[in-house]
Amino acid sequence: MIYISEEESAALVTHDLAFEAAQAALVAATSPQGRVFPAILGRAREVSNTFSIKSGSSDDLTGVKIGSFWSGNPARGLPRHNSTIVLLDQQTGRLGAVIEAGKVNAYRTAAADAVAADLLARRNAKVLTIFGAGNQASFEVTALARIRPIETVLVVARPSPRRDAFVNRIGERGLEAHAVSVEEAVRAADIVVTATPSREPLFDAAWVKPGTHVVSMGSDAAGKHELPSDLLSKASLFCDLLSQSVQIGEFQHLRDAIDAGLLAVTPIGDVIEKRAPGRRFEDEITVFDSSGISLQDLYMADALIRAKLRR
């Protein structure tokens, strides 16, 4: 059995590795061999401590990812978010690998959003608006700035030392960064990323200008809701996996319309494989629902194992 600790996986992971793994996983999700099973969401003794179990398989990989959110961890000097990936031996079902992947998980999520943005965002996108200033937000900025010529980052978050520190860190990377109002941020954006636990829409659809690409990555459980429904009715819609998106992703709020055939949603894997178009014209508004699928975790684990063996 292969074991990779949190410290080792954090040292091995890169944005290049994550991008390639996420791309392969999103393609696998649309293939006959790719299987993603319903996510299981649970709580520990303290109701603020939650976990999820995501499982799946492909021709070469079978396993699960256990993600946890322990609200009191910062007081212990630990991150709130943790992740463990377990790969099973395809022949015997015994443990093949155990990988601690807390930091890796942030790379993995941002990479999927970058893969989609590379197909859906305008080539000259320069202004990125991000809702949230938590752990994930920094990875989203870095991943998207690798594939588009981002110059300005507009941050929407409650006033706090953490928000101000986040804005300063972005500025230290050579990007212009400002904390601004919701309306100002959305009206100016070429790309909008929502990385929040919100249960109600974060902005007005009328503020989204033609040609904007929008990513919802915070909606990953029943009841979460980041985007205005009237935006989705006039945008071209994409997702990582439709069956999961309509259960726990942003498109859960459109399930009836999607089931009735009134709205079409394209899996991004079909765009990668050129079975479906991505962005078709400059003024098109595109939306990617990034609910986070188990295959991303399995392919990340496989990429980390190969990187470890190369070392």
CATH code assigned at 26: 3.30.1780.10
Q: Based on the fold, state whether residues 167 and 288 are members of the same structural domain.
A: yes
| Alpha carbons 280 and 286: distance in angstroms, whole number | 10
As a whole-number percent, the residues of the chain with pLDDT over 90 amount to 86
Q: Are residues 22 and 73 in the same domain?
A: yes
- 276 and 300 belong to one structural domain: no
State residue 218's pLDDT score. 85
According to the model, what pLDDT value does residue 292 have? 93
Tell me whether residue 65 is one of the annotated catalytic residues.
yes
> Do 82 and 220 belong together in one domain?
no
Q: Are residues 150 and 62 in the same domain?
A: no
Instruction: Report the alpha-carbon distance of residue 66 to residue 60 in Å, rounded.
Output: 20
Q: How many structural domains are present in the chain?
A: 2
Residue 53 has pLDDT above 90, yes or no: yes
What is the C-alpha separation between 162 and 123, in angstroms, rounded? 31
Same domain, 127 and 230: yes
SS3 241: coil
From CA 294, how far away is CA 239, in angstroms rounded? 14
Q: Are residues 177 and 157 in the same domain?
A: yes
- For the cut 90, the answer to whether the pLDDT of residue 227 exceeds it is yes
Identify the domain containing residue 306 by its residue range. 2-105+295-310
Same domain, 138 and 279: yes
Distance, CA of 217 to CA of 251 (rounded, Å): 11
- The reply to whether 288 and 248 lie within a common domain is yes
Q: Do 60 and 77 share a structural domain?
A: yes
Residue with tokens 């941002």: 110
pLDDT, averaged across the chain: 95
In one-letter notation, the amino acid at residue 272 is I
What is the pLDDT, as a whole number, of residue 219?
86
Same-domain status, 287 and 306: no
Query: Of residues 65, 103, 126, 274, which has the active-site annotation?
Result: 65
Are residues 184 and 203 located together in one domain of the fold? yes
Portion of the chain with pLDDT greater than 70, in percent: 100
**pLDDT for the residue 134:** 86
Number of H helices, E strands in the chain: 11, 15
